[in-house]
Structure formats: structure tokens, C-alpha cells
Amino acid sequence: MTRLTFGILLLIVFEASDGLHAQLQCGEPAAVGMSAPRLEVVAALLRDEVKRGRITAASILVARKGSIVLSAAFGHLSPVSGSRPVEPDSVFLLASITKPVTVCALMILVERGLVSLEDPVNKYLPEFTGGDRGKVLVRHILSHSSGLPDMVRENVSLRRAHAPLSEFVKAGFTTPLIYSPNQGFGYQSLGTLFAGEIVERIAGKRLRDFEREEIFEPLGMNKSSLGIGTIPLEDIVRHRTAKPPYSEAEKSYGSNSAYWRELGAPWGGMYSTTHDLAILLQTFLNGGKYAGYRLFSPATVELMTSDQNQSVKAPWGLGWALRDSPVWNLFGEICSSRTFGHVGVTGTTAWADPERDLLCVILTNELVEGGSFLRRVSNAVTAAVVE
């Protein structure tokens, strides 16, 4: 089953006081220098992958210069027979695309003067002490240079026990560093967990509530939440193509379990749509503003989307990965070096290329070919820019 349109009808709001910061709107590919036939090729790649059965659900949105030129959906919400078709606004589990959103929440506090990137993490989380932990700065946990491992050693046992996030945080405080802070690079989810914990302690509220109030609602990301929130279960795309019977582990604490959907993991528990993520990316392309709402200053946007790891030669922004980052580049090879974004192990990628004023969000329910498929689709998107 396919749902394909070239552009979605959206409200158009222009703000003249600080340049044009329009909402994403319906547009014709040719009007923004893109090729409609080449965008058909992009859609066909996803359609064919669903037909092959390697993924059973996919949604894509491509926009340039504020105009949505491709919005398409393929497959069904679940591989179980009789499941509803995926729509362009169907909700997917984002996995690690959650990370830059968590970092956005922390950067709001940085802009308000409540947190400094150069402070040690234990200024805000005093339990994180001993050894080299005092050398771990806030900026290090946002750029994967903190020395922390990806997960706490107790990750599986905590999930099996349906532990709350507070238990993951507690375990993280005593997790050994694997290298000295700012002396190397190691992709890690634990630092993002700490970033979320700092937000909760400073803001005095749950991270999911802070994100809803400070990011999702003001930007109009109406189908996004950390954890399932109020999203009806029947509207969420099931991660993975496997059909019943499901393993006990998957049913108890896997990515489709009630436990995981409610946990709201700051490193991988967000749910959203292609359109909502496109709003966030467009906000960054707009210099921090969207439809009259300023999420960030231009200075913060520049900081978050530029290399913060030059000393360790492992390009990464704050939260956002870059085209030349050492891991998780599923943005393709022909986008510009300024391209930023993130990917998720559930088969998702969201990226924006400031040089071409281009953004792309691809959400699927299975990571195939080690991510090569998403890179190939992303390359086809960039190749659709012809002017």
C-alpha cells in the first residue's frame, strides 16, 4: 500500500521582522530547483524495498527552501495481516534521533544561563565523582568525547527488571570511563542520559514534559513525544519486520514492549513523524526560528551544527552528527560537509544540508544493509537537486 504526494497542504505563515521564517509548505520541485523524475526514483527505492519485504513500513519527506517537494508512505503499521497502511504522518520509534532532541532541551538551559558547557558534569550531578569523572565537561557528553561507554553494564538486567530511568542514572554514576575525557571518541548513549538528567534537575520537571512544553508544542510538532505519551498505540509503526510469535524478551522489554514505550529513554525513546522532524530541521536551517517562534539564537545553531571534536579528530556537533562523523553517517556521500543530522538503529535518518537548503527525513521499521540502504536513498535525494 502506497501513499504518495508531492507536497503536503500546510498552513503558511511568514514573519517579516527577522527575515523569512515560513512554515514548511506545499511546493513544486521545479520551483526550488529539484527534479520531479529524480524524486520519483527516491520514492521507488522505498516502494521496492517494502515490496521485497526487508522493511514493511516507510515514510519520507523531502523539502528544499522551505517547500515540501516529496511526502510518501509505504507499507503497513505492522507486518501482521490486516494492519492499516502507513500514512505520511504515521508515528515511528526514532531510536537515536532522540539524542539531538535531548541535547536541544539542554541547550535551551544553556541559552538561559542556567548551564555552562565548560562546567564539569558533576557540578549538576554531584554523584558523578571519583577518578577522571571530574574532568568530564558538559560539552563532552554532548559530543561523545566524555570517555563514557555506550551503555551502563547493567543495561539488559535493568530493562529486564522494568527499572525506571533513575536506576539507569544511578548505575551510570559508577560506570568506569573507558578513556580520559576529551582524549578520544566513543559513541555513547550514557552521556545523553546524563544530559537529560541535568535538564530534569535544573528545570524541576520530567524531560518529556520539558520537551513538550519548550520544543514540541511551540514548534507545532504535534505528533512527537518522548515515550509514547498520548499517542494511540494503534497509530504507531511496529519496529522490526518479524511476525508473531514474539520472544519473551521482545514482549517484556524490547522496542515494541509497553515498558520501552513508556520509559522515555533520553537516548532512544522518542516517537515522531517525518513532518515533525522536518519542522525541527527547518528550524535549524532558519537559524533557530520557525514560524515566529525562536527556539535558538543563530549562535547556538552554529555551535550545535559545527565540529566540536577537532582536538580528537572525530567530527561531531552538539547532539547532531555531521557528514564526516566517524559513525552513523547515513546521510550519503554527496551531501555537503556542513550536513548535520542523526540516525536511529530502528532504520531512521533525518538530515539537513545548509549549503543546499535541503532537508530529508526517512523513517522505516528496520535497519537493513548496515545502513547502506538509507545512504543510497539519501544520495538519490541530494542528486534530485539540479539547480
State the Cα–Cα distance between residues 48 and 166, nearest whole angstrom: 43
CB atoms within 10 A of CB 58: 29
Strands in the chain per DSSP E: 2-5, 25-26, 57-64, 67-75, 92-93, 225-226, 270-272, 289-290, 293-294, 321-322, 340-344, 348-353, 358-364
CB 262 within 8 A of CB 233: no
Closest of 121, 261, 132 to residue 202, by C-alpha: 121
**Mean pLDDT across 358-381:** 96
pLDDT-based confidence at 17, cuts 50/70/90? Answer: very low
Pairing of strands 358-364, 57-64: antiparallel
What pLDDT digit, counting tens, does each position of 314-338 carry?
999 999 999 999 986 779 999 999 9
**For residue 127, what pLDDT is reported?**
98
Instruction: Decide if pLDDT at 383 tops 90.
Output: yes
Residues 218, 221, 226, 227: is their CA dihedral positive or negative? positive
Q: What is the pLDDT of residue 111?
A: 98
Model confidence pLDDT, tens digit, residues 250-293 = 999 999 999 999 999 999 999 999 999 999 999 999 999 999 99
The pLDDT of residue 3 is: 52
Q: What number is the average pLDDT over the span 99-119? A: 98
pLDDT of residue 292: 93
Of 86 and 15, the structure prediction assigns the larger pLDDT to: 86
Instruction: Say how far apart CA 297 and CA 287 lie, in whole Å.
Output: 7
Quickly state the pLDDT bin for 9 (edges 50, 70, 90). very low
User: What domains are defined for the chain?
Assistant: 93-269+287-329 (3.40.710.10)
* pLDDT class of 78 with cuts at 50, 70, 90: very high
Note the pLDDT of residue 96. Answer: 97
CA distance 39 to 48: 14
Tell me the C-alpha distance between 292 and 219, whole Å.
9
Average of pLDDT values for 2-13? 43
Q: Mean pLDDT, to the nearest integer, of 48-59?
A: 97
- With beta carbons less than 8 A apart as the criterion, state whether 182 and 195 touch: no
Tell me the pTM.
Answer: 0.94
The pLDDT mean for the chain works out to 94
Amino acid occupying residue 87: E
Q: Which of 43, 112, 53, 121 is nearest to 362 (CA)?
A: 43
- CB-based contacts of 304: which residues, under 8 Å, 6+ apart? 100, 103, 104, 107, 284, 296, 317, 318, 319, 320, 340
Task: Please state, in angstroms and as integers, the Cα–Cα distance from residue 119 to each residue in 106, 129, 135, 175, following that order.
Answer: 13, 14, 9, 20
pLDDT tens digit sequence for 216-247:
999 999 999 999 999 999 899 999 999 889 99
